[in-house]
């Protein structure tokens, strides 16, 4: 009896010790030693493992993941979370980085009917595709995961930025369908944040630039809502720039306007230099900040001027 009791006691203590270690491991923040490293935490600061993040967003219809374009740690997290969620239930990948007109090309690549070079050229893949989005696309391809080319064409959105929403009235029906049916530019919290952070030029120019910004959010939101209507049991994982996602003001609000019953989870990258509001509902994706793009206003103006000089879009 004593020997049996002692054996059971040792087993109980071992199990308790392992449980404590597992709990401690899940709560211990990960060191951010390189740009590849990340740590996710809840709004109140509780550190989460990848498995805990997947469980946390498990019930969401749509998971919105913001990014700093080209950040290795953020892109690593996106792929790892997509993989983790795909093991729990059906998922689809939605992407800002491809526009609706490229959906047929994207579908051909996923069906292995097109080589990667042709796919990137015909789908107008972003310059950072190889290092940032190839892992997502290849994982989706290998596991038969639908991928939504959710956005509006950048070359045409830039025309809205110059001409306003009236530009859409000049488009033939087939091209107008590459944009959301409704783009509502009335005053909102998102509009206030945009004007405070991204406006340039006259009030009229700022209004057109905001219309262009919202064209992206509205189109991406509509793409996801439409997909959900025909695939209600499939969780959508959407990747887009941080400004679209942060604090639920951009794309999330456009989703709610189209279907306010959808459950949305937000995951937004943060750094010491770029936090979120304390009351923001987003999970925090902590990463090292990227190197500064410019060190002076003159340097920034020269870079912006060079980018404008290489622009080839023509608005008819």
Q: Exposure of 109 by Cβ count < 10 A (0-12 exposed, 13-18 middle, 19+ buried)? A: buried
Encode pLDDT of 259-298 as tens digits: 999 999 999 999 999 999 999 999 999 999 999 888 887 8
Helices and strands (H and E) in the chain: how many: 14, 8
Supply 16's token pair: 């308790």
Supply 257's token pair: 């306007």
| Topology annotation, domain 27-290 | Rossmann fold (3.40.50)
Question: 286 — phi, psi (to 5°)?
Answer: -80, 125
Per-10-residue mean pLDDT, the chain, length 316: 46 44 57 97 97 98 98 98 98 98 98 98 98 98 98 97 97 98 97 87 93 98 98 98 98 98 98 95 97 84 65 68
**What distances in angstroms separate CA 251 from CA 17, 162, 174, one per listed residue?**
44, 22, 24
Q: What is the DSSP string of 59-108?
A: T-SEEEEEE-TT-HHHHHHHHHHHHHHHTTS-EEEEEEEEEGGGHHHHHH
Other beta carbons within 10 Å of 251: 31
DSSP assigned state of 283: E
Tell me the pTM.
Answer: 0.89
Encode pLDDT of 138-149 as tens digits: 999 999 999 999
């Amino acid at each position: 009896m004593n020997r049996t009791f002692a054996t059971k006691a040792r087993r109980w203590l071992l199990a308790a010790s392992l449980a404590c270690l597992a709990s401690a491991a899940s709560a211990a923040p990960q060191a951010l030693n390189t740009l590849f490293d990340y740590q996710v935490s809840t709004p109140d600061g509780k550190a989460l493992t990848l498995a805990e993040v997947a469980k946390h967003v498990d019930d969401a219809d749509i998971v919105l993941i913001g990014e700093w374009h080209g950040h290795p740690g953020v892109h690593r997290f996106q792929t790892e979370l997509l993989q983790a969620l795909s093991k729990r239930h059906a998922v689809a990948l939605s992407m800002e980085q491809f526009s609706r007109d490229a959906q047929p090309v994207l579908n051909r690549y996923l069906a292995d009917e097109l080589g990667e070079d042709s796919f990137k050229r015909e789908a107008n893949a972003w310059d950072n595709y190889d290092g940032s989005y190839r892992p997502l696309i290849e994982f989706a391809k290998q596991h038969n995961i639908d991928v939504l080319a959710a956005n509006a064409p950048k070359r045409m959105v830039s025309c809205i930025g110059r001409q306003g929403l009236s530009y859409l009235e000049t488009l033939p029906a087939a091209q107008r369908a590459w944009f959301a049916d409704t783009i509502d530019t009335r005053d909102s919290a998102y509009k206030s944040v945009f004007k405070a952070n991204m406006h340039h030029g006259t009030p009229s120019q700022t209004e057109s630039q905001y219309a262009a910004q919202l064209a992206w959010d509205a189109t991406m939101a509509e793409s996801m809502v439409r997909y959900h209507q025909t695939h209600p049991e499939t969780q959508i994982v959407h990747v887009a720039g941080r400004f679209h996602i942060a604090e639920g003001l951009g794309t999330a609000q456009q989703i709610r306007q189209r279907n306010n019953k959808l459950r949305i989870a937000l995951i937004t990258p943060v750094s010491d230099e770029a936090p979120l509001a304390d009351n923001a509902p987003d999970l925090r994706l902590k990463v090292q900040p990227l190197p500064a793009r410019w060190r002076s206003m003159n340097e920034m103006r020269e870079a912006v001027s060079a980018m404008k000089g290489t622009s080839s879009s023509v608005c008819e």
